[in-house]
Chains A and B, each alone.
Chain A
Amino acid sequence: MNGTKPKKVYFYGTCLVDLFFPDAGMAGIQLLRRAGVEVVFPDGQTCCGQPAFNCGYWEEARDVARTQVALFPEDLPVILPSGSCAGMMKVHYPELFHGQPDEAKVRAFSARVYELTQFLVEVLDVQLEDLGEPVKVTWHSSCHAVRDLGLKGEPQALIGQLANVELAPLTREYECCGFGGTFSVRHPEISGAMITDKIADATATGASLVLSTDGGCLMNVNGALEAKSSKLKVQHIAEFLWERTRAR
Chain B
Amino acid sequence: MHAEKEIHFRDAAAKALLDPQLRANFRRAMDGLITKRKAQFPDPRDLQDLRDLSTAIRSRSLLCLPELLEQLEASCAKNGIKVHWAETCEQANQLILGLLQAKGAKTLVKGKSMVSEEMHLNAFLESKGIEALESDLGEYIIQLDGETPSHIIMPAIHKNKDQIARQFSQKIKDAKYTEDVDELTAMARKVLRQKFLDADAGLSGVNFAVAETGTLCLVENEGNGRMSTHVPPLHIAVMGLEKVVARLEDVAPLYAILTRSATGQAVSTYFNLITGPRGADEKDGPQEVHLVILDNGRSRIYADPQLRATLRCIRCGACMNHCPVYTRVGGHAYEAIYPGPIGKILTPQMEGVGVRHDLIHGSSLCGACGEVCPVEIPIPEILVRLRREATHDDVGSTVAGRGTGRTATEDWAWRLWAGVLKRPALYRVATWFATRFGRALPANAPLIRNWTQSRTKPVPARRSLTERLRAEGVSHE
Contacts and interface: CB of A to CB of B under 8 A. Distances in A.
A67 B466 contact: no
A135 B371 CA distance: 33
Contact of A175 (B324, B418, B459): B324
B186 interface: no
Contact of A224 (B14, B414, B454, B457): B454
Interface in B11-26: 13-14, 17
Interface residues of B, number: 67
A67 to B, nearest CB: 5
Contacts of A147: 366-368, 370-371
B150 to A, nearest CB: 16
A124 B328 CA distance: 41
A58 B452 CA distance: 29
Contact of B475 (A20, A41, A57, A63): A41
A176 interface: yes
A29 B473 CA distance: 12
Task: Give the interface SS of chain B, mostly helix, strand, loop or mixed.
Answer: helix
Nearest to B353: A56
Interface string A25-64: 1100100000000111111111101011111111111011
Contacts, number: 207
Given A41-B469, A55-B387, A190 B362 contact: yes
Q: Report, as a range, how many residues of chain A touch the other chain.
A: 35 or more
A219 B461 contact: no
Interface stretch (A103-111, A157-165, A178-186, A201-209): A178-186
Contacts of B464: 18-19, 22
A93 B115 CA distance: 38
A159 B14 CA distance: 38
B238 to A, nearest CB: 33
Nearest to A174: B368
A182 B361 contact: yes
Nearest to A183: B364
Contact of A186 (B10, B415, B453, B455): B10
B328 A194 contact: yes
A19 B477 contact: no
B78 interface: no
A180 B364 contact: yes
B465 A18 contact: yes
Given A51-B417, A178-B324, A144 B367 contact: yes
B363 A180 contact: yes
Contacts of B410: 55
A175 to B, nearest CB: 5
Contact of B414 (A60, A176, A181): A60
B455 A220 contact: yes
Secondary structure of the A contact surface, majority rule? helix
A227 interface: yes
A139 interface: no
A190 B392 CA distance: 26
B475 A38 contact: yes
The 4 A-B residue pairs with the shortest CB-CB distance in the complex, in nearest-first order: A180-B364, A223-B455, A192-B454, A56-B388
Interface of A: 13, 15, 17-23, 25-26, 29, 38-47, 49, 51-61, 63-64, 66-67, 95, 143-144, 147-148, 174-176, 178-197, 219-220, 222-224, 226-227
Interface of B: 9-10, 13-14, 17, 324-325, 328-329, 358, 361-368, 370-371, 381, 384-392, 410, 414-415, 417-418, 420-422, 424, 427, 431, 434-435, 438, 447, 450-461, 463-466, 468-469, 474-477
24 contacts: A29-B474, A40-B476, A41-B475, A41-B476, A43-B466, A46-B421, A61-B418, A66-B422, A67-B421, A147-B368, A175-B324, A176-B366, A183-B362, A183-B364, A183-B365, A186-B361, A189-B10, A190-B13, A190-B325, A192-B454, A194-B364, A196-B454, A224-B454, A224-B455
